[in-house]
Amino acid sequence: MNRKIIGIGLLCIGAASLFSSCASNSRKKGRGDGESRVTGWELNNSNWGGYEVTEHLGQPTPIGMTFVQGGRFTMGAVDDEMPTLENNSMRRTVSVSSFYMDETEVENQSYREYTYWMNRTYATDYPEMVEAAMPDQEVWRSALAYNEPYVKMYFNSNAYNHYPVVGVSWYQAVDFCDWRTDRFNEGLLIKNQYLNPNVNQSGEDVFTTKSYIVGQYGGSVRRIKKDLEPNGSHERPVNYGDGIFQPDFRLPTEAEWEYAALGLIGNNPSPENKRRRGEEVVTDRNTLPWGPKNTTRYGLHNQYQGEFEGNFMRGKGDYMGVAGGLNDNADGPAPVNTYLRNAFGLYNMAGNVNEWVMDTYRPSSHEDVNDHRPFRGNEYKRYKRQEDGTLEEKDSIGHIPMEMISDAKMRSNNRYETRTANLHSYKDGDTLSSSTYGYGTSSLVNDSTKVYKGGSWADRAYWLSPGTRRYMQGHLSSSTIGFRCVMDRLGSPTGDMQPGGNNFGAQRYYKR
């Protein structure tokens, strides 16, 4: 009897081991990869429904960018800035999320790559689009100055390849960010061998991230992505859940730009690293991006002592100093990777050229501001859909049309605190506020009025302080204004140093 029980027991154990082994082999062959935490069903297995989950392996730093770890800071004017009648940069504590930012201003060579692509893609059918993308090279003209060499050569000559692009309006900068997003994601598909390069794109046959994801752009397919949905076509486009595509490039918000310019991580006496936790303290507040000192000259006792740390106008008529001792070695813009970097590794966050930020200008933006990821200028949009709920077909230039969410839809949804999808004037110039702006009659402020920051080669040192702000109509451009891009950080705010939240060893729930 005992032998029989033992035999049955061994048989059961053997069967269980065999079943476990088969299940293990099934997963090794790619038919399954873990199980659902809520149903127990196998993931990534077409026999179990085909629900796909890809583990996040981290977000690589995009080429040309550096990681800016977010945090709280005091935004606005510093104590030693002179008061102004506008009083539009009041101090307030806000927090920004982590993000990636271009190390330098966008240079001529990079913007010429954009206009070259536009010309190759749209010149035949839509030459007006090519012209609209070109920077205004006549911004260099001044009635009582000889700047014709700049007009002719600054954007076009390879002598200025690595100088900041200027003459670009806010709207042109936004279009560049959109173009960069699509070319970057298209490049990732090519490098991961899902697409072949398609150099004959034109008209509506143009890759955009959205049109590809929803199946409205085919391109030159190199490798098919398997679709595990058992009743599907067994192939599908790559999507965001696969971990290949990256977030959009865009202009930084005013808060992000100011935070990055201050570089306060350099003022932390003991920043976090892989071996220790950081101190929750900033020892000093910076007036300029180069650290807790109110000076524009390099102070260490070495061969660089006394050199200008940025490119700006020292005084009336003094743009570069004297022969044999040039103070900033540039009479106009300088190469984008020159002068002293700040603690985040960013060049020219003060001087060289001002930079567009994403915000719409209002003088009282500090009032009623959201203290988490503050921004003024939201427009709530969605992709247009047909009556049956399917997406509209892409338009003649390859983009899926978008539309503003209607006021009726906004009012019907309690999730929205506003009654309109256009929030440029929310609580400042709209029906919910006491202030109104009559553009062209009593002010120069409307929804197209955008903020720029940072100071330029033609500005005094006052404008180099990150808390200062100015504005201009978004369709205009200048020889002193350029831009740089940012990208959102996904997941952990500390980069890939550690996962988000505070983890306490054995209490960690998710496998990493």
The residue extents of the domains of the chain are 61-106+137-164+251-378+452-498
Residue 271 has, within 13 A of its CA and on its CB side, a CA count of 13
Q: Which two tokens stand for residue 327?
A: 């103070």
State how far the Cα of 484 lies from the Cα of 101, in Å rounded to an integer.
Answer: 8
Contact 69, 495 (CB under 8 A): yes
State how far the Cα of 511 lies from the Cα of 22, in Å rounded to an integer.
Answer: 23
Average of per-residue pLDDT across 461-474: 93
Report which DSSP code applies to 420.
Answer: -
SS3 per residue for 337-361:
CCCCCCCCCCCCCCCCCEEEEEEEC
Residue 459 pLDDT > 90, yes or no? yes
Residue 165 pLDDT > 90, yes or no? yes
State how far the Cα of 27 lies from the Cα of 10, in Å rounded to an integer.
Answer: 25
State how far the Cα of 351 lies from the Cα of 76, in Å rounded to an integer.
Answer: 18
State how far the Cα of 348 lies from the Cα of 290, in Å rounded to an integer.
Answer: 10
Tens digits of residue pLDDT in 309-326: 899 998 898 888 899 888
Q: Which two tokens stand for residue 162?
A: 């690595």
Q: What is the pTM of this model?
A: 0.89
Per-residue pLDDT at 437: 67
Per-residue pLDDT at 269: 81
Q: Look at phi and psi of residue 374 and say left if phi exceeds 0, alpha if psi is from -120 to 50, else beta.
A: beta
| Chain centre distance of CA 368 | 25
Residue 23 pLDDT > 80, yes or no? no
3.50.20.10, 3.90.1580.10, 3.40.50.2000, 1.25.40.10: CATH of 61-106+137-164+251-378+452-498? 3.90.1580.10
Q: What is the mean pLDDT of the chain?
A: 86
Confidence band for 96, pLDDT divided at 50, 70 and 90: very high
Tens digits of residue pLDDT in 399-442: 999 999 988 888 887 777 777 898 888 887 665 555 566 676 66
Per-residue pLDDT at 487: 98
Average of per-residue pLDDT across 34-53: 93
Residue 510 pLDDT > 80, yes or no? no
Question: In 292-434, which residue ranges form alpha helices assigned H by DSSP?
Answer: 407-412
Per-residue pLDDT at 86: 56
Cβ-based neighbours of 254, under 8 Å, separated by 6 or more: 357, 358, 359, 365, 374, 375, 451, 453, 469
Per-residue pLDDT at 253: 97
Residue 164 pLDDT > 70, yes or no? yes
Q: Is 495 strand, coil or helix?
A: helix
Per-residue pLDDT at 282: 79
> How many H helices and E strands in the chain?
8, 18
